């Protein structure tokens, strides 16, 4: 597991040739590392630990019940969210069930590690497209300027050649410019897509989460029933 986390270091290594900007790097470096790291931790929890802990009676083996709860979709009772914990219910949303009560099913937890990895891929796609289009052109152009042992005359001559090349090919790289703008737009669209994806994945709870946090934070602690108070 430590070797897997160690392999993420390559995403954070500084490059001698920068072909994008800081915001672009936040998309394909910081965000990708965070998402893959979280995916690895969730995967380790699922396959090498206890992915779920269920309360069982003495006559039911805990491992058997945990496996059953993991395979089958869990649910909470909508009316139990507003009941007082410790007096009416043991935990928000957990209560005795009746056939007519509305249940809220939670089927997302089994797919968290895969969704996190898929999100990381989506964040890296614009970088992959831009790097494939750029194809090392910028690195080849500045190759003669990065030698520390070159004399000033050689560096000055290389700079003059670079300026001459840029002047003669001023309008010959419009395709690269358009591709870079396209990848920046893809970064923006990807963020919007991720919000929609998370909201669908969490059953519509993601879009309201921030507003509900602000709303509950203004309530008195004695009357709050949201899980954040426990």
Where do the domains of the chain lie? 2-134+173-229
What confidence score (pLDDT) does residue 227 get? 62
Does 53 score more than 80 pLDDT? no
Are the beta carbons of 103 and 97 closer than 8 angstroms?
yes
The model's confidence at residue 223, banded by pLDDT at 50, 70 and 90, is low
Are the beta carbons of 126 and 23 closer than 8 angstroms?
no
Inter-CA distances, 81 with 89, 90, 99, 166, 214, Å = 9, 11, 18, 65, 18
With b for 16 or more beta-carbon neighbours within 10 A and e for fewer, the 19-42 pattern comes to bbeeebbebbbebbbebbebbbeb
Residue 91's DSSP bridge partners are 94
Question: Lowest-confidence range among 16-30, 96-110, 145-159?
Answer: 145-159
Q: How many CB atoms lie within 10 A of CB 124?
A: 20
pLDDT tens by residue, 191-204: 999 999 998 888 87
pLDDT tens by residue, 122-163: 999 999 999 999 888 888 777 766 666 667 777 777 778 777
């Amino acid at each position: 597991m430590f070797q897997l986390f160690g392999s993420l270091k390559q995403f954070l290594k500084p490059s001698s040739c920068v072909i994008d900007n800081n915001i672009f790097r936040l998309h394909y470096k910081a965000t990708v590392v965070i998402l893959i790291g979280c995916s690895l931790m969730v995967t380790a929890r699922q396959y090498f630990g206890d992915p779920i802990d269920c309360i069982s009676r003495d006559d039911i083996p805990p491992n058997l019940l945990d496996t059953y709860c993991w395979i089958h979709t869990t649910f909470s009772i909508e009316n139990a969210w507003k009941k007082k914990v410790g007096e009416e219910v043991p935990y928000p949303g957990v209560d005795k069930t009746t056939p007519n009560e509305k249940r809220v099913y939670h089927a997302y937890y089994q797919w968290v590690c895969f969704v996190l990895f898929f999100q990381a891929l989506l964040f890296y796609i614009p970088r992959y497209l831009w790097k494939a289009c750029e194809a090392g052109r910028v690195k080849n152009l500045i190759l003669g300027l990065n030698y520390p042992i070159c004399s000033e005359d050689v560096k000055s001559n290389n700079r003059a050649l670079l300026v001459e090349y840029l002047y003669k090919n001023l309008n010959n790289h419009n395709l690269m410019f358009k591709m870079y703008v396209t990848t920046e737009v893809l970064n923006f669209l990807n963020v919007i897509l991720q919000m929609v994806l998370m909201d669908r994945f969490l059953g519509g709870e993601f879009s309201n989460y921030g507003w509900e946090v602000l709303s509950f934070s203004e309530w008195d602690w004695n009357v709050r029933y949201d899980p954040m108070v426990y």
